[in-house]
Structure formats: C-alpha cells, structure tokens
Amino acid sequence: MNNNALTIAGRLISQLVRDRRTLGLIVIVPLVVMTLIGLSFPEGDTLSKIAPALLATMALFFSFLLTGISFLRERSQGTMERLMASPVSRLDIVVGYLLGFFLFALTQTLIIVLFTIYAFDINFAGDLWQILVFQVVVIAGSVTLGIFTSTFARNEFQMVQFIPLIIVPQIFLSGFALPVEQMPEFLQWLSAIMPLTYAVAGLSDIMLHGQSLLDVGFELAVLAGFAIVTSILAAITLRRGAAG
C-alpha cells in the first residue's frame, strides 16, 4: 500500500480522535437512535425480524454522515488544498481518507451491531463474525459514497441536504419498509441499482436464514463493486476547497 495514503490516514485519525464532535457522531448519536428504535418495539420477535434491514440502514446512514461532514471540514480548513499542492495523487488522497474514515465507521458499526443484538436480545440465525464481515463491506461503500458526495457540498448544511436525496430513497426502496417484490415494476428497477437493497438482502439472508458469506456472494460482489466505483469517482471529482 502507498506510504502517502497511510500517512494521510494516520494524520486524519489523530485529528479526528482529538475532535469531540466526532465522538458524538461515532458513539453518542447512534446509541441514542438505536435505543429509541429498540424501545419502540417491545416485542423481541418483531425487532429481530427487522434487525437486518435496520442494521444495514444504520451502517449506511451513519457512515455516510460521519464521512461526508468530516471530509467537508478537511476541505474547508484548507487541508485538501495543501494535499493537492503536494506531489500526492488524487487516488492516494482518496485511499488515505478512506482508510482513516473506515476505522471510525467500523468502530461505529461495531457499537451499533453489538449494542442492538445484546441490549435488545436480538435473535439471529447466522454467525456473528459473518454479520460483522458483511457490515464491513457495507460501510466501505458508505464511506466512499460520503467522500464522493461531499465534494459537491459547500458547507455542512448542504451535506445534510444530500440525505433526503441519496439515503432516504434507498431506505424506502431497499425492502426495509415494504418487500421489493410488492413494489410497482418501475420502483423495482430503481431498487435494483441501489446498494442498500443488496445490503438489506444479504444481511437478512445471514441473520434470518442462517446463510453464509458464500451464499450471499452476489450481494457482496455488488457492494464491493459499488465501493470501488465510488472511490474512483471521488478521486476524479476531488476539489481543493469547500467552495471550490
């Protein structure tokens, strides 16, 4: 792996560790949200049935939000301009930020998954380690999506405005609220191009039906391909400043 990318990742990690707002995005906010959701379903069986879709959605949402806002701050503070003026390729920058943000998104996802499963006594059929591995692939795509999307935002408010444009449609079309096969045909076509659809389907197969990672290989391949494509797009569209 390129040393430039590792250096960028290390600098980002040390900076985010010192930022108290990052602690809130990683730990406090997800725990509050998951607690409210868990308490809204007093019957354990109901929560267990929607847990896969819930965990996939929360992983996408919080990783996207954490990455997008934090990456935007990097641009607004002039860090991106200094990096792009140095002999570092755009791909190195994206990979470096991907590694740095990925560590925090992974921590956040682990907290959400373990808290939801054990605090609310969720029943699941698959192995816990396979659930976590699948979630790793989900957040990889979420992080790259956050980096890519943030390049089009001028401030944090605009970054938040991308949520109803990018995240909310995926929630409604992924099978979270209504099975995809019960949707009108044109919505099924839209659902087929959204990564959260495959995240919900794969995680549901593991947690509800006890399938292995090999059984959800197609969903994993789609999610991994999405992460690769969005990382390339992020490198192409990378800009120096938040107002660039």
User: pLDDT value at position 169?
Assistant: 92
145 domain-assigned: yes
176 domain-assigned: yes
**C-alpha–C-alpha distance, residues 71 and 242, integer Å:** 10
Q: How far, rounded to the nearest angstrom, does the alpha carbon of residue 170 sit from its chain's CA centroid? A: 12
243 domain-assigned: no
User: pLDDT value at position 29?
Assistant: 81
Q: How many domains does the chain have?
A: 1
244 domain-assigned: no
**Which residues, including other chains, have CB under 8 Å from residue 153's CB and lie 6 or more apart?**
68, 72, 159, 161, 162, 242
3 state SS of 244: coil
**Which residues, including other chains, have CB under 8 Å from residue 186's CB and lie 6 or more apart?**
none
User: pLDDT value at position 230?
Assistant: 92
209 domain-assigned: yes
Q: Is the distance from CB of 220 to CB of 134 less than 8 angstroms?
A: yes
**C-alpha–C-alpha distance, residues 80 and 4, integer Å:** 14
Angle in degrees, 0-180, between the axes of helices 128-150 and 195-209, rounded to the nearest 10: 170
CA distances to 10, 29, 95, 241 from 88, rounded to whole Å, are 15, 35, 11, 16
75 domain-assigned: yes
Note down the domain range covering 183. Answer: 3-237
User: pLDDT value at position 224?
Assistant: 95
Per-residue tens of pLDDT for the chain, all 244 residues: 567 778 888 888 887 777 767 767 777 888 888 888 888 876 667 888 889 999 999 999 988 988 888 888 877 777 777 777 777 777 888 888 888 888 888 888 888 888 888 888 888 888 999 999 999 999 999 999 998 998 888 888 888 889 889 999 999 999 887 888 888 889 999 999 999 999 999 999 999 999 999 999 999 999 999 999 998 888 888 765 544 4
* Angle (CA) 76 80 85, round 5°: 135
